[in-house]
Amino acid sequence: MKKLQTWLTVILIAVGLGFLAPGPASAATSYCGLVWGSLAKTAPGMSSASVTNVRTGQHYCFDRMVVDLNGPAKGYTVQYVPAVVQDGSGKEIPMRGSAFLQVTVNAPSYDSAGAPTYSPVTPKELSDVSGYQTFRQVASAGSFEGYTSLGLGVRARLPFRVITLEGPGSGSRLVVDVAHFW
């Protein structure tokens, strides 16, 4: 018992003098290990593919929006904006949330003959995100001159990432993940 008290005393003195202390926190050890930021993310290029679907999902550390294309995804711009605006007209689209991401895919939502490849039934509610931790609304902002824009209402300006994935088949996906916390 005397040895245990002696060791506890030594450890407490070492901690008090600063010999044993946790290392400093770093930005690389943020929420869930995510080191994304909240600045605009872009990739150049125009896709010959068309948008075919928009869907969402929930993950442990983030909410995800997926834009399906019927060919390779090439270019995009995803950024926080004061308001989501409609392609062509610039008309503001009302969105739920405290922060808004404008997602522009450098691909149309129609084929070369002008026939729609993605025509949502409810453009203001592309996916039911009730119960999501971060997402508040996903809305269409239109497709104009080869670009398709979407609005993503989120609960706060949180870190996000954008990735492209091949498949399924000859298609591809543009993925926007928004973290639940900083």
Are the beta carbons of 56 and 138 closer than 8 angstroms?
yes
44, two tokens: 């150049």
What φ, ψ does residue 5 adopt, rounded to 5°?
Answer: -65, -40
Q: Which residues pair with 140 in a beta bridge?
A: 150
Residue 118 has pLDDT above 80, yes or no: yes
Cβ neighbours, 10 Å, residue 5: 9
How much is the pTM?
0.82
Are the beta carbons of 67 and 105 closer than 8 angstroms?
yes
- The reported pLDDT for the residue numbered 179 is 96
119-145: per-residue pLDDT in tens? Answer: 999 999 999 999 999 999 999 999 999
- Domain 31-179 indexed as CATH 3.40.190.10: no
Is the dihedral angle over the CA atoms 114, 127, 175, 153 positive or is it negative? Answer: positive
Residue 88's pLDDT band, with cuts at 50, 70 and 90, is confident
Q: Which residues pair with 77 in a beta bridge?
A: 42, 104
Length of the chain measured in residues: 182
The DSSP secondary structure of 111-171, one letter per residue, reads -TTS-BS---S-TT-SS--TT-SSEEEEEEEEEETTEEEEEEEESS---EEEEEEE-STT-
Residue 10's pLDDT band, with cuts at 50, 70 and 90, is low
SS3 27: helix
d(CA 102, CA 105): 10
What φ, ψ does residue 12 adopt, rounded to 5°?
Answer: -65, -40
% of the chain surpassing 70 pLDDT: 83
Q: Where are the domains of the chain?
A: 31-179
Place of tokens 């005393």: 9
